[in-house]
Amino acid sequence: MPSTLMLLTNPYRPDPRAFREARALFRRGANVQLIAWDRDGGLPEHREEDGVDVTRLGPRCPFRSAGKVISRLPRFWFRALKVSRKRRFDIVHCHDFDTLPLGMIISKLRSKPLLYDSHELYSAMIEKDVGRVARLVWILEKAMSKRADEIVTVNETLAKKLSIGRTKTARIVTNSPDTGVLDGADAKQIREKYGLRGFVISYLGSLEPGRFVEELVSSVEPSGKVSLAIGGNGTLMPVVERASKGNPAVKFLGTVGTDEALKITWASDLVIAMLDPTNPNYKASTPVKILDAMACGRPFVTSQGLDVAKRVAELGCGFVIPYEKEAFKETLKRAEEVPKLLLEMGRKGKEHYDKELSWERSQQELFKAYRALVGGF
C-alpha cells in the first residue's frame, strides 16, 4: 500500500475533511503523513492521531488577516518543504489552494504524483479580504490544477469548474460524515448534557458574516419553547456569547469537535444551514451541516439561490427560504407546528444520503484517485 504526504493549512484535528480522508486511507492500509499549519500555536508539533502521523508547524498567524497570511504562509511552506525532505512517500496530497504551490514543488523535486483536493471555491472565499488579488488567485489555481495528476472536490459545481482544460475530470468526494460515531447515541442524554429543552434547533459551524449567525441568535425568543444549540468560532463569537448571556434559550457550546457536532445534530429537531447566496463561494458550496442533517435523518433550513437549494427542494428534505430573518422566523414557527412534516423531510434526506452521499460510498472515489496514481490500491 502507498504512503501519502498530506499538506493543509487548517490544523483543526487537523481539519474535518482532511482527517476523515486520512483516517479512511489508513484503514485501507496506507501510511498517512499529514503536515499542517499550526496558526494558533500551542498544539503538539508531532503526534499520532487514530493511526495518522500528524506534524504541525508554525509560524503563528491570526485568521482573517490577509496581510499576515500573505507574509507568513511562505514561511510555513519553507518549513514544510524542509520536513518533507526527510519523509518517504508515494503521493503528494494537497488540501486547498494555499498548499497547492508547495505541493507542486515537492511533487516536482521528488518526482511523485500530485493529488489536488479542493474544499471550496478558494478565490471567492478570500475575495472580501484581498479584493482584486482574488482574481489572480483563481487564474493561478486554474493553471496549477491543470498540472495536477488527479483532482478531487466536494460537489458537481466545483468539479465542473476545476475540470475545464483537463483531459481527466475531477472526482467528487463529498464532505459526508462517518456516522459510526452515532452508534449508541441517545438524543435525550445529549439534550440534557447541553441544557436543551423544547424544540431544539442547531447551528454548528463557522461564526462569520454571511452565515446567518446574527439573524439566527436574534430570532430565538427566551420563552423556553425553542432552544438554540450554537457552536463554533470566528469573528462573530462575541455576538453569540452576548446573546447566550442575555437569552437562556441560546446555548453557546464553544468549539465543538466533528464527532460531537454530529451527535448534537442527531439530538436536534431542525438544523440551520443558511448561507448568503450573493457570496460566490457560498453559492457553489454544499454546507457540511446539510450532509450532517441528512445523515442523521433530520430536516434543515437552507437558502434560496445556493446551487444545492434546487436539489433540496426536489428531494423535499428541507426548507428552502430567502436569506432573510423574517422568512426564517416564519419557517421556524411552521416547523414547530408540523412535526409530521419534519419526520417526512428527515426520512427523505436519510434515504437519499444512504443511497447517494454516504461516506462509505463517497470514499470509493478517493480510493479510485489513489489507484489511478499508484495502482493496486
> Tens of pLDDT along 344-370?
999 999 999 999 999 999 999 999 999
CA atoms within 13 A of residue 266's CA, in its CB half-sphere: 21
Mean pLDDT of 212-229: 95
Domains, the chain, ordered by start: 3-176+359-374 (3.40.50.2000), 179-357 (3.40.50.2000)
Share of the chain above pLDDT 90, in %: 80
Q: Give yes or no for residue 166 having a pLDDT over 70.
A: yes
Which of 77-91, 116-130, 234-248, 321-335 bottoms out in mean pLDDT, i.e. has the lowest?
116-130
Band of pLDDT at residue 14, cut at 50, 70 and 90: low
Most confident of 150-154, 164-168, 174-178: 150-154
pLDDT digits (tens, 9 = 90+) for 31-42: 999 999 998 887
Q: Give yes or no for residue 373 having a pLDDT over 70.
A: yes
Cell of 340: 409530521
Angle between helices 258-266 and 288-296 (to 10 degrees): 50
Q: Give yes or no for residue 217 having a pLDDT over 80.
A: yes
Rounded Cα distance between 280 and 274, Å, is 14
Rounded Cα distance between 235 and 272, Å, is 19
For residue 270, the model assigns a pLDDT of 98
Kindly write down the DSSP assignment for every residue of 194-210, as one continuous string: HT--SEEEEEES---TT
Mean pLDDT of 279-306: 95
Distances (CA, A) of 11 to 88, 227, 302, 371, 375: 22, 31, 28, 27, 30
Q: Give yes or no for residue 10 having a pLDDT over 70.
A: yes
Q: Over the Cα atoms of the chain, what is R_g?
A: 21
Alpha helices (H) along the chain: 16-28, 66-84, 100-110, 122-130, 133-146, 156-163, 187-194, 213-217, 237-246, 258-266, 280-284, 288-296, 309-315, 325-337, 339-352, 359-374
Q: What CA dihedral angle connects 144, 148, 152 and 155, to 10 degrees?
A: 40
What is the CB neighbour count within 10 angstroms for residue 205?
A: 22
| Contacts (Cβ under 8 Å, ≥6 apart) of 265 | 202, 204, 271, 289, 292, 293, 295, 296, 298
Band of pLDDT at residue 44, cut at 50, 70 and 90: confident
For residue 12, the model assigns a pLDDT of 59
Band of pLDDT at residue 62, cut at 50, 70 and 90: confident
For residue 67, the model assigns a pLDDT of 79
Band of pLDDT at residue 127, cut at 50, 70 and 90: confident
Mean pLDDT of 156-181: 92
Q: Give yes or no for residue 295 having a pLDDT over 90.
A: yes
Mean pLDDT of 291-315: 97
Band of pLDDT at residue 129, cut at 50, 70 and 90: confident
Beta strands 52-57; 46-49: pairing state: antiparallel
